[in-house]
Amino acid sequence: MMTILNAEDSLVLIIDIQDRLLNAVFDKTLLENRANIIAKAAGILNIPVIVTEQYPKGLGYTISSLKESLGENAKYFEKTAFSALDNNEIKEAVKMEGKKQIILFGIETHICVNQTAYALLEEGYEVHVIRDACGSRSELEYSAGLSRMKDNGAHIITAEIALFEWLKGARNPKFKEVQSLIK
């Protein structure tokens, strides 16, 4: 199926970008940078954001730079299951936003992101995984997670693909503001 992102149809779902988890991933600088860019763009373009935190008492809370980038534009949920949709509050929050395109990223690619992507696809959502804002402890698991999600029907894209598909063109009134995030 061919598809392109549309800001009006999009919801950003950020999975477990927490202190302890981020410190264990192999390319944490890129992940943090890209996560912050998407978070800021979502705010500029009025795209709703849902953030999950896997067992925060033990793994820490969402990293402070991401919380700053999100500002008031996010709803936070704790979880213990690997798939975010196994938490009924999260599943309901996603449903309540009424969006068909879910922009998904976070930690760990092959576990929580993968299982959440699968659950979203099963629910009939169009899933777009931001590969440069995902991370795992090893490159092998990261690559395997991306392949698995693609095999299941998710679209694997980058942060810049998302931004420019949301904008559609240079005439978008938010173009300069969003473009400045990657300069």
- Answer whether residue 2 shows pLDDT above 90: no
Stretch 91-111: mean pLDDT? 98
Asked if residue 79 belongs to a domain, the reply is yes
Asked if residue 48 belongs to a domain, the reply is yes
Asked if residue 129 belongs to a domain, the reply is yes
Asked if residue 2 belongs to a domain, the reply is no
Computed over every residue of the chain, the mean pLDDT equals 97
- Answer whether residue 183 shows pLDDT above 90: no
Q: What is the pLDDT of residue 1?
A: 64
Q: What is the pLDDT of residue 83?
A: 98
Quick one: which of 67, 120, 70 has its CA closest to 97? 120
Q: What is the DSSP string of 10-69?
A: EEEEEE--BHHHHTTSTTHHHHHHHHHHHHHHHHHTT--EEEEEESHHHH--B-HHHHHH
Residue 114: domain span: 7-182
Asked if residue 134 belongs to a domain, the reply is yes
Q: What is the pLDDT of residue 7?
A: 97
Q: Residue 73's pLDDT band (boundaries 50, 70, 90)?
A: confident
Q: How many distinct structural domains can be found in the chain?
A: 1
Q: Which residues are catalytic?
A: 16, 79, 112
Give tens-digit pLDDT for 146-160.
999 999 999 999 999
Give the CATH number for residue 81: 3.40.50.850
Model pTM score: 0.98
Give tens-digit pLDDT for 27-66.
899 999 999 999 999 999 999 999 999 999 999 999 999 9
Asked if residue 1 belongs to a domain, the reply is no
